[in-house]
Amino acid sequence: MRVSSLDQRPETQLHDLRQMAVQRGYEIVQEYTDRISGVKTRRPGLDQMMADARRGRFDIVLVWASDRIARSVKHFLEVLDELNRLNIEFVSFREQIDTGGPLGRAIVVIIGAIAELERNLIVERVRAGMRRAKLEGRSIGRPALVLDREAILRDRQSGHSLGQIARAHRISRATVHKIVHSEMASERGIQKGCQKPAA
């Protein structure tokens, strides 16, 4: 269930869904409610429901209406696709969608095909944009990161922490670690190369 604001109440949705569960002989495992806009993809109730779905806590999700899950088609398709992959039926009270029946499964296939088409169109648009940028002589992707390796190594030898160096040079700790680690590895290689063979 979801309502868009704190002053709205989900009791109507709750009544209809409980009645539907009783009529169909379903056991209610958990009720999830959000008091937040459906535009937001991160919502406590929905997030908890999906986490429980991944743990296999239930077989069927009942919603009062499809837009209670999400307002955007893209987000709705993502949720429906994941539920389908987890073999969890999706039942909508208002639209009378039930993915447990043959028509419902057909709807999921159609929705999946539309989602795949959308993804392919996005990929094609990105490729077309990259081709156009190349033809216009523009560089593609992020500019190469210019690092002052010697200054980073000097800072490390002076006793600065990885975090301090990262902040000072405006790079990630992982990048600092990589530079320091590769320098240590190359020094070990040089030392090995200078060792005289045992007599």
Mean pLDDT, all residues of the chain: 81
Least confident of 42-46, 107-111, 147-151: 107-111
For β-strands 89-92 and 97-98, DSSP reports them as antiparallel
- Distance CA(87)–CA(69), nearest Å, equals 18
Contact 59, 89 (CB under 8 A): yes
Model confidence at 61, in pLDDT bands (50, 70, 90)?
A: very high
115-119, 136-140, 155-159, 172-176, range with the lowest pLDDT? 115-119
Beta strands in 21-170 (DSSP E): 34-35, 60-63, 89-92, 97-98
Given a contact cutoff of 8 angstroms between Cβ atoms, the answer to whether 65 and 2 are in contact is no
**What per-residue confidence (pLDDT) applies to 8?**
63
Q: Cα(197)–Cα(193) distance, rounded to whole angstroms? A: 10
Q: Is 14 exposed, middle or buried (0-12, 13-18, 19+ CB in 10 A)?
A: middle
Give the start-to-end residue ranges of the domains of the chain: 2-116, 149-194
Higher pLDDT, 76 or 45: 45
Q: Which long-range contacts (CB under 8 A, 24 or more apart) does 24-31 make?
A: 26/60, 26/62, 29/57, 29/58, 30/57, 30/58, 31/1
**Tokens matching residue 122:** 């996005």
How does pLDDT run across 68-127, given as a tens digit for each residue? Answer: 877 677 788 788 888 888 999 999 888 777 887 777 777 766 766 776 777 788 888 888
Q: What is the pLDDT of residue 167?
A: 87
pLDDT, one tens digit per residue, over 153-168 is 888 888 888 888 888 8
**Token pair for residue 83?**
């539920």
CATH code linked to domain 2-116:
3.40.50.1390
CB 26 within 8 A of CB 19: no
- Cα dist. 199→176, 190, 192, 194 in Å? 41, 21, 16, 15
Res 182: pLDDT:
84
The predicted pLDDT at position 65 comes to: 82
Instruction: Report the alpha-carbon distance of residue 181 to residue 160 in Å, rounded.
Output: 15
- Which amino acid, 93? F
72 part of the active site: no
